[in-house]
């Protein structure tokens, strides 16, 4: 309905959302603090009808044919385990207005945290939005269920960008539908880094020399160890012992010269505590919008491309509501509104077409296809490699 949010509004939202999506602290302990701080929704389990003041099932006349019929069978709540600042509250409210299903948004700082909750069992989570690398393991351990496309009558496969569908981690999208995708790139302060940075090789060289004490790498094995591997000419996904030893030695030597190993990317970049930083698409867009001096680039020597996808928990207590939600949220209108809010690119081409020019033509949000060619998806073997996990732990523990 009110899709056309003006640019000033977007900037304002971007400023409000100072924290990076993965930020959020790992630090706050089991994500509880994240819930309290993110403040975007009542914590899971709260049965309060949030936001629109009463979740009475008044169908909103303006929302179009995409709607599943309001039905008592859906129940009255749904728990969505997702990232901070990832969903448009208007879209969630419209779903509630249409179906009578109130959405509890549970915010997590990482896929791994979502997984911990799912594995513990009885999480109450219905829909969860993991990154690509976790999906195979979750399927193997039956944490998520195959998507019953019969329950998504409005889903049109042809609307979706083949670049992000039918990937190796989920052939035929049997268990997952993309929510947003993005890159792991390099953010830098152009005023401080006049030569610019275009490759990971350059990034890690400069981090240990010219920009000693001014560089941040994220606290995430896949993104940081992976980007360092790319810098040394290896695959993002390397689990070769010799290559891993070389990457570990490089990062261990670099560690004392870093400003931080932290997934809270945005604050130090804004404060000029960091001049050079690993960052995810959203960080690049949000900080870049507020500050012309901050540039975000996708490295030309490779790096990480990722997709967060909607999946349905195998023990979802509100399965029907979960499918009604997926049917709704994957429609172009809703997907476009979500993208306008989160500023991460979407895999639904019809949604992308609905976006205002300053978003769909923004090369940071939607990088040109050829710049993505060298990027890799992190795979399950990387995510679950004990050797890589231990190498990363040794790097972090080193003096």
Partner 1 sequence: MTQQSGTVARADAKRRGGAGLLVLPAALWYVGFLIAPLIVLFVMSLGERSPNGGYAPGLTLEQYANLTSRITPLTNTLGLALLNTVICVIVAFPVAYTLALKVRGGWKLALVALVVVPFWTSFLIRTYAWMTVLGNQGIPRLLSGVGLGEIQLLNTPFAVSLGIVYNYLPLMVLPIYVSLERLDHSFVEASRDLGAGPIATLRQIVLPLAAPGILSGIVLVFIPVMGEYLIPILLGGGKTYFLGNALADLFLQSRNWPFGSALAAVFVAGMIVLVALYLWVSSRLVRSGREASLL
Q: Which residues bind partner 1 (CB under 8 A)?
A: 25-29, 33, 37, 110, 112-113, 115-116, 119, 136-138, 140-141, 213, 216, 219-221, 255-256, 258-262, 267-268, 271-273, 380, 384, 386, 389-390, 392-394, 396-399
Closest approach of Cβ 368 to partner 1, in Å? 33
Q: How far is residue 228's CA from residue 10's CA, in Å, rounded to a whole number?
A: 33
Which of 32/58 has CB closer to partner 1?
32
Q: Give CA torsion, residues 171, 176, 180, 181, to 10 deg.
A: -30
Which of 26/313 has CB closer to partner 1?
26
Closest approach of Cβ 257 to partner 1, in Å? 10
Closest approach of Cβ 249 to partner 1, in Å? 16
Closest approach of Cβ 135 to partner 1, in Å? 11
Which of 78/139 has CB closer to partner 1?
139
Per DSSP, helices labelled H in 134-184 are 135-140
Which of 236/326 has CB closer to partner 1?
236
Closest approach of Cβ 350 to partner 1, in Å? 35
Which of 216/375 has CB closer to partner 1?
216
Which of 29/61 has CB closer to partner 1?
29
Which of 134/354 has CB closer to partner 1?
134
Closest approach of Cβ 132 to partner 1, in Å? 15
CB-CB neighbours of 239 under 10 Å: 17
**What are 308's strand-pairing partners?**
131, 180
Q: How far is residue 394's CA from residue 399's CA, in Å, rounded to a whole number?
A: 10
| Token pair recorded at residue 109 | 């700082």
Cα distances (angstroms) measured from residue 259 to each of 75, 109, 214, 299, 356: 49, 21, 5, 21, 37
> In the chain, how many H helices and how many E strands?
17, 10
**What are 260's strand-pairing partners?**
216
Q: How far is residue 348's CA from residue 36's CA, in Å, rounded to a whole number?
A: 32
Q: CB within 8 A of 222, min separation 6: which ones?
A: 133, 236, 304, 378, 382, 383
What three-state secondary structure class fits 279? strand
Which of 73/397 has CB closer to partner 1?
397
Q: How far is residue 197's CA from residue 295's CA, in Å, rounded to a whole number?
A: 9
Q: How far is residue 98's CA from residue 323's CA, in Å, rounded to a whole number?
A: 14
Q: How far is residue 247's CA from residue 244's CA, in Å, rounded to a whole number?
A: 5
**How do beta strands 77-82 and 127-128 pair?**
parallel
**What are 344's strand-pairing partners?**
none
Which of 121/368 has CB closer to partner 1?
121
Closest approach of Cβ 123 to partner 1, in Å? 13
Sign of CA dihedral 119, 41, 338, 158: positive
Closest approach of Cβ 22 to partner 1, in Å? 12
Which residue is associated with the tokens 């993005």? 182
Which of 150/399 has CB closer to partner 1?
399
Closest approach of Cβ 116 to partner 1, in Å? 6
Closest approach of Cβ 274 to partner 1, in Å? 9
H/E stretch holding 186: strand 177-189
């Amino acid at each position: 309905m009110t899709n056309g949010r003006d640019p000033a509004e977007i900037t304002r939202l971007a400023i409000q959302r100072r924290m990076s999506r993965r930020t959020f602290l790992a630090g706050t302990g089991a994500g509880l603090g994240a819930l309290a701080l993110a403040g975007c929704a009542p914590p899971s389990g709260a049965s309060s009808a949030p936001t629109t003041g009463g979740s009475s099932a008044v169908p909103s006349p303006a929302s179009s044919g995409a709607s599943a019929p309001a039905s008592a069978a859906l129940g009255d709540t749904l728990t969505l385990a997702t990232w901070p600042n990832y969903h448009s509250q208007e879209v969630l409210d419209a779903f509630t207005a249409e179906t009578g299903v109130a959405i509890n948004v549970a915010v997590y700082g990482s896929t791994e945290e979502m997984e911990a909750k799912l594995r513990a069992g009885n999480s109450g989570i219905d829909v969860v939005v993991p990154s690509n690398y976790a999906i195979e393991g979750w399927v193997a351990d039956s944490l998520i269920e195959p998507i019953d496309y019969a329950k998504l009558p409005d889903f049109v496969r042809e609307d979706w960008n083949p670049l992000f569908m039918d990937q190796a981690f989920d052939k035929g999208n049997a268990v997952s539908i993309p929510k947003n995708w993005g890159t792991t790139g390099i953010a830098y302060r152009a005023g401080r880094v006049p030569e610019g940075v275009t490759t990971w090789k350059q990034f890690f060289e400069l981090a240990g020399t010219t920009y000693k004490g001014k560089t941040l790498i994220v606290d995430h094995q896949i993104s940081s160890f992976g980007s360092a591997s790319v810098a040394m000419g290896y695959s993002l996904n390397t689990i070769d012992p010799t290559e891993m030893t070389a990457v570990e030695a490089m990062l261990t030597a670099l560690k004392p010269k870093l400003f931080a190993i932290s997934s809270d990317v945005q604050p130090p970049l804004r404060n000029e505590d960091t001049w050079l930083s690993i960052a995810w698409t959203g960080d690049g867009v949000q900080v870049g919008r507020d500050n012309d001096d901050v540039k975000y680039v996708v490295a030309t020597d490779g790096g990480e491309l990722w997709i967060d996808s909607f999946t349905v928990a195998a023990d979802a207590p509100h399965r029907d509501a979960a499918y009604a939600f997926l049917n709704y949220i994957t429609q172009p209108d809703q997907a476009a509104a979500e993208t306008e809010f989160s500023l991460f690119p979407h895999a639904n081409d019809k949604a992308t077409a609905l976006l205002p020019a300053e978003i769909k033509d923004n090369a940071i949000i939607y990088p040109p296809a050829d710049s993505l060619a060298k990027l890799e998806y992190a795979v399950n073997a990387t995510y679950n490699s004990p050797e890589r996990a231990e190498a990363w732990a040794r790097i972090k523990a080193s003096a």
